[in-house]
Structure 1
């Protein structure tokens, strides 16, 4: 999907998962990653309360903890996030917030995967720029204050254009290297956290092997698949399957299927000259008007406007 083909991520990449890096041993040696270590690794000044760093997942990251809050964003590919309590998968556009002092390791699934981390100093989160979120009664505020019991929160992207746009904005801001960059980035991270609260789709568990099998099935049969078919395929009752998927991913099965249909529709609008009506049929909608309504609500623009924006050369033919 075009919005997830992020640009400017090279500016935040370092290869600190590669043993040849001179800082490698010092960073990972005691299994505790401090803000100071990370900042020195990317040659940043110590007065950056919010920092960005990217990794090419060509090698596993050792099990470690942080002295700061970490937001993990997968820019592309698939990675495995292993914590003390569980292991789950993260795909393109997925986000995970690791709580203060929580421990985890990122394992290679796709060697081409790229992970983008946002680090927030503890004092900045608890009494600085982000204090209103930290002290709020929202699920995110409650999570951030429950440091001993809750290690992470997982947020599935499921084709969220808004989340993709916010991540892209941060990457672009970072690439500009302007004098106001630290202030702009802090503001943009605040917007990202606010959007996650607004979406209200999260899980304390994440995508395990069984859910991954289910998502793969949806990927192959998205145009026609139903809850009843999924339940039969995976030998669950419909009610149990609904609860299980909601618990693991934070989303209803119907939303996951719809997200896949919208993702495919977006790709077809960008990359083919099929008519909107033909695309509606291709992704499983027999009614053009129903498809148009769902698409506009999902992308906040009509199918024709979407095509004009992302592929004007097709729209004008």
Structure 2
């Protein structure tokens, strides 16, 4: 069973709480243009970000930077309860700057991954999250301002926690032979996303069997090898569409797609826009 406890939003901020007591692994969308805060209220999860897998338990907070490939999957008990907070840089950054806060880019760039909170910090976080929920639900006078103040408190708690614990070890990633091998492959696919290596050639490169690579990659990341490579390609395509004069055909060739048609189909699947539409929207937003 899956139950949405609440789902509220205002410009620049979306917050929701979902409880599940069944096996669950995230589906699309696997990367996006918003910053994400994931609070695990109950249960335990594996959280794959970029190339690493983290073990997350009750009371942990996960920061996911913009454009980072990420996915959660089951670890242990099927039941879990989480609150998700998504933040828009375009909307929130000017206000945070005027308030003297660190930028979202800096906070999520420096601190992405899992943050272990003290019991006091965790209670503060829960109260602030529920406060945001209540403000968005009832929308009293100046509720937007109150929500932004509470968000700034959440971000300050995060910054203070990380500065205080800078000399301590970061929460460890899952370090088994299986996870280590998947990390190697994921890192290679991220850097060399344009390569058209077959699954067999990739398995040979990393000295494992094709069937074993296929199985462990999906177990750890919840992606197939080809899905992960295509996500890396789409992310690179977005950079090229925004910051280069290459034509769509040239970008398709650079990134190793077998045809422009296939490139456009994969891009639209993951970016929710055609390549030409994405480039046009980016240019209009400048």
TM-score between the two structures when normalised by the length of structure 1: 0.44
Q: Write 1 or 2 for the structure with the bigger share of strand.
A: 2
TM-score between the two structures when normalised by the length of structure 2: 0.49
